[in-house]
Structure 1
Amino acid sequence: MILSVWVAAIAIGIGPCAAFAGQTSAPVEQQPPAAATAQAPMTKAEAKELFRSVDEILSFVSSDSKLPIEHSVKRKLISREQINGYLKKKFDEDQGAKRMERSEVILKKFGLLDRDFHLRPFLLSLLTEQIAGFYDNKTKTVNLLDWIKPDDQKPVLAHELTHALQDQKVGLTTWSDVSAKGVARNVQEDNEHLQTDEADTARDAVAEGQAMAVFVDYTLRPTGKTLADAPELGDRLKDMAADSNGSPVMARAPLLLQQSLLFPYTDGLSFEQAILVKSGAKAAFADVLENPPSSSFEIMNPKAYMAHAPVPVLRLPDIHPLLDAEYTPYDVGVMGELDVRMLTELFGGQQMATALAPEWAGGVYYAAQRKSAVTEAEKESTASIALLYYSRWKNADSARSFLRVYAAEIPRKYSGVVRRPKDEADGDEQVYSTSEGDVLLSIAGEGVFVSEGFELPLARKLRDQIVSTQPEGPLQIAGARSHELSLGLAHTLSSFGMIRAAGLQRYTFEGRPGMAR
């Protein structure tokens, strides 16, 4: 899905993990975080201590994860100015970041981002303020920040050095980036994208979840406990991550960014924790790296992954003959369980999201751009995009609940919304006129079809073809690659390093009521 593309893109660049502390909506170059720039650089003695600790912490990481040390890890001290320059350069050059920016208009079309939101400057500010350290799998170097004291960086080192050992085990550059490239131009490429759409995001969640597990164990060392001994700590960390009080920028971020940023850390930790508790360190680390999950569904449902349960994946028929005269292919992907959770929470509230997301049984979207959109301004507008979305649910009641939630959002997404009952073929259709063209919503059994921007006769033809193509039962995702709408964002974000989002990096277990000591 689009989010998976984003998160995946960020994860590829700096390395699987970085630490974020907060966000600011102003671009980095206009409003640097005052609190961060006020901190003095560490002394030479502190830098020497931090460099010395790398090998000691690497030994702990290897013992905790059972991932072997193949060779020592290079280390480098960098300044905030160097971080700023790196992030800007990465956004300009990284292919994942470019895919993320291309996906922005689709996220706005779905209503996951406001139409007037500007993604790039917000993310630059967020990352600059929040990053706490990162391992660069391209240069094989762990980057240490010269304005954070050694004792504060050591837990982050445990996290980042986990990525170093993962890199030595599987080669993170290629392991983390396995999604289909480019725009799908025909039915074969459409379905290749769908078959592999969420894998990058799932792999990011594995990488960050493993690093978070080691991070927790390192922090727990004074207590003699580990995450496997006290699995309730994982849930408490997730609760803390959801609390953005300590991060003003994160608190202002759209729900999409908040959840996609945290997903690899929080849901990834829960996934790894479930395997760790059930089967031990080798299964949770080396075995998962060798046989990673391929979808957000498996990350959110680790029992399904461990049971080798089939992952719901839908197919597209050849719709190009219906579209190619007036439209150019723009994007195709999976609307996965994480996407549904965010979409329903944004449109219907957290209670609705909690109830509906587990009932998801597959989803696919297709976006095309009108050939009449010629100028850059026209191409960047959601009005240039026509969108279809087909979702399957475990039962008809859940399908109808999702349809109600989605329909209620139409007047908030568009202006000039008028329902046209006379144009509705039966009680299972809803037809609207909007400022961006016709909207058709329809339901049949456990399936919900949405068309936004295609003219009504064409929308019905697309629906009938798509519904008739679906198999009766779920299909196992065939490839190792995947692109889920929102998770592209998660993949892109996680590539910039470990984040301090919602206070995860500052968290300590000592002195907290009810925590193991």
Structure 2
Amino acid sequence: MSIHRLSCRIVCTLLFVAAFAPASALGQQKEQASANPESTADDAKAGADASGERLLEEAAEISGEVARIRGLSLKHEIKKGIRNRDQLRKVLIERLAEEVTDEDVENEAKVFKKLGLMPEDLDYKQTLLDVLTEQIAGFYDQNAKELYIMQGIPLELQRPAMAHEIFHAIQDQHFDIKRMVEPISSKENGDFALARSALIEGDASVVMIDFSLYEEGVLPRDQVRSIIDIPMMANVLTQLTREDIGALQQMVPQGTNPSSPVDPSQLSESALADAPRMIRKLLVFPYFGGMRFVIKTRLGHDWERVNQVYKNPPVSTEQILHPERYFAGDEPVRLDYNVEPTFEDDALIYDSVLGEYQMRLVLEEHLLEGEDGQKNRAPLDKALDGWDGDRLRAYETSEGQTLISHLSVWDSLDDADEYFDALVEMMKVRYPDAKLTHNRGKYGQSVCMRAGEGDEAERIYLEQWGDLVLHLEGAPTKLDAKGKETDTTAYILRERIMRTVERTPFAEVYEQKVEAYDAEAATKDASDR
């Protein structure tokens, strides 16, 4: 997801904060507003501290507490800025514009819509902006090295949010967040960006939970260093998803009502709840998936083990989802292929890596709905288990249509076969009336479909060839009088892709990217002197 790296931080921090806010501050505010609107305004003014001076004092106190909790010193004072909601929204939109262009967002929307992940009439850019700016609590800007704190939020919510974002500043001081995420952009490899973000956000989320539980007196300050050191609580967190975030309230005994869990869709008002499932899942994964990775890493060890991970951070969501593979050194393969002259460079509108998690979301979108949803869950989980690398490229045809080519490589022939079968089932769900031709051969199998009618018709081609799986969607199609296909685009694409496949160990690619990044940074530093 092209804007993912900046987008996740704002929304999910608030979801966590709401779960830990004493007396469920959001619900409390609503009840007070109904009972006494005048007193609510006074209380809100006092709690939010309109001058901002109180917030700066709180931030200074929280900085020391977060450093103590996580065992990472504050190397120098964090630059802080106080903003109101409108000012913060403006800053965030400016940062997003620096990361991606309108064309990038539009092209990503074309890909997601082609995969059936969002409605055709959805305004993707506006949806993202609505979700990201609807509930801004503040954020740490790793480029400006500045913590933005928003006025107007009750301190019960503000303190955990500040703990989360202050820890990002501490992370940056110790581990250089920019150097972690920028050598390979989220546009170039969305899976890499998602994995790096998961480590960063997952670590900050655990720190925020520890901070909140220390404040509530749930964790004995001098006896337990983290919630992870309490097996029952750590186990609850590893099983947590956004949908059952209300379970977190049961850990906080003061002022909460376990029978009335927080409803995340209510906390997000409308934008997050109304966003397509793919967007919601991608936005929250770094927090929940990353938190699970950090907990699994930290269990039975101290924080130094997590600190060591920053020296060689995860490079794929496979490593986040399966921490044991990270520690075993299981890194992905970088796939490449050449489709020229079928499509020239100017026809390419999207080129990225989906990774295990995003590929899982594509399958889930179609296979977990309806009567067969539960029946499909176990095969779906197995279908992604052997992921070893992938590349998705999308092209815009001369007729303005989007054509997708997605190539993936798997750990074994059986793994490739299982993913291929899941793809076929997904296509049957998406195009129940399409005629399907299934061929099997010595080295694999293929499925060809013609979906739609008239000018809207398209050719879909799936193939398993050894440990590779190819997924072509949106290829033009034209039938002769006898019903035989006369457009050879899908066939030619298949031939060019399979004959030009290149596999490179990810470590080699990453080393080159980091060297180039460091050289550019050194040149810039020299010119700035």
TM-score, normalised via structure 2 length: 0.72
Other structure's SS at 1:391 match:
strand
Shift of 1:398: 4.8
Tell me if the contact between 2:394 and 2:404 (Cα under 8 Å) persists in the aligned partners.
yes
Which residue of structure 1 lines up, in the alignment, with residue 494 of structure 2? Answer: 463
Deviations 1:160-197 (A, max 9, x none): 11111112224334433222598xxxxxxxxxx5xx55
Which 10-residue stretch deviates more, 288-297 or 81-90? 81-90
Which residue, 473, 488, 504 being the options, matches 1:452?
Answer: 473
What's the Cα RMSD here?
3.6
Residues of 2 paired with 1:102 and 1:208: CA distance?
Answer: 27
Note if 1:130 corresponds to 2:147: no
Deviations 1:433-479 (A, max 9, x none): 232521112233443322112356332343344345557x9934433
Which residue of structure 2 lines up, in the alignment, with residue 283 of structure 1? Answer: 305
Which residue of structure 1 lines up, in the alignment, with residue 236 of structure 2? Answer: 236
Other structure's SS at 2:165 match:
helix
Which residue of structure 2 lines up, in the alignment, with residue 199 of structure 1? Answer: 192
Residues of 2 paired with 1:321 and 1:425: CA distance?
Answer: 29
Residues of 2 paired with 1:402 and 1:48: CA distance?
Answer: 56
Which residue, 294, 318, 330 being the options, matches 2:349?
Answer: 330
Residues of 1 paired with 2:145 and 2:506: CA distance?
Answer: 35
Count of aligned pairs between the two proteins:
438
Residues of 1 paired with 2:150 and 2:511: CA distance?
Answer: 33
Q: Structure 1 118/323 Cα, relative in aligned 2: closer, same or farther at 3 Å?
A: same
Q: Structure 1 234/126 Cα, relative in aligned 2: closer, same or farther at 3 Å?
A: farther
TM-score, normalised via structure 1 length: 0.74
Other structure's SS at 2:81 match:
strand
Which residue of structure 2 lines up, in the alignment, with residue 354 of structure 1? Answer: 381
Unaligned runs of 5+ in 2: 17-28, 246-262, 369-376, 477-486, 514-529
Tell me if the contact between 2:348 and 2:396 (Cα under 8 Å) persists in the aligned partners.
yes
Other structure's SS at 1:239 match:
coil
Unaligned runs of 5+ in 1: 23-33, 183-192, 374-383, 484-517
Tell me if the contact between 1:8 and 1:177 (Cα under 8 Å) persists in the aligned partners.
no
Tell me if the contact between 1:21 and 1:130 (Cα under 8 Å) persists in the aligned partners.
no
Which residue of structure 2 lines up, in the alignment, with residue 246 of structure 1? Answer: 264
Residues of 2 paired with 1:172 and 1:97: CA distance?
Answer: 25
Shift of 1:295: 1.2
Residues of 2 paired with 1:356 and 1:420: CA distance?
Answer: 21
Which residue, 291, 294, 299 being the options, matches 1:269?
Answer: 291
Deviations 1:43-91 (A, max 9, x none): 5499544322222221222223332312111333322222333344444
Which residue of structure 2 lines up, in the alignment, with residue 144 of structure 1? Answer: 149
Which 10-residue stretch deviates more, 37-46 or 315-324? 37-46
Higher RCO (CA-CA < 8 Å; seq separation 6+): 1
Which residue of structure 2 lines up, in the alignment, with residue 440 of structure 1? Answer: 461
Q: Matched residues, percent identical?
A: 24
Other structure's SS at 2:347 match:
strand
Shift of 1:336: 0.8
Residues of 1 paired with 2:56 and 2:299: CA distance?
Answer: 33
Which residue, 329, 332, 340 being the options, matches 1:312?
Answer: 332
Residues of 2 paired with 1:94 and 1:448: CA distance?
Answer: 32
| 1:94-105 correspondence runs (5 A) | 94-95=99-100, 99-105=104-110
Which residue, 241, 254, 278 being the options, matches 1:256?
Answer: 278
Which 10-residue stretch deviates more, 118-127 or 450-459? 450-459
Radius of gyration: which is bigger?
2
Tell me if the contact between 1:159 and 1:211 (Cα under 8 Å) persists in the aligned partners.
yes
Residues of 2 paired with 1:480 and 1:361: CA distance?
Answer: 16
Which residue of structure 2 lines up, in the alignment, with residue 115 of structure 1? Answer: 120
Which residue of structure 1 lines up, in the alignment, with residue 5 of structure 2? Answer: 8
Tell me if the contact between 1:66 and 1:281 (Cα under 8 Å) persists in the aligned partners.
yes
Note if 1:391 corresponds to 2:400: no
Note if 1:211 corresponds to 2:204: yes
Deviations 1:218-243 (A, max 9, x none): 12222224133125535534525233
Which residue of structure 2 lines up, in the alignment, with residue 56 of structure 1? Answer: 61
Residues of 1 paired with 2:159 and 2:436: CA distance?
Answer: 62
Which residue, 332, 345, 370 being the options, matches 2:364?
Answer: 345
Question: Which residue type is aligned with residue 209 of structure 2?
Answer: V
Note if 1:298 corresponds to 2:291: no
Q: Structure 1 338/43 Cα, relative in aligned 2: closer, same or farther at 3 Å?
A: closer
Tell me if the contact between 1:10 and 1:97 (Cα under 8 Å) persists in the aligned partners.
no
Other structure's SS at 1:368 match:
strand
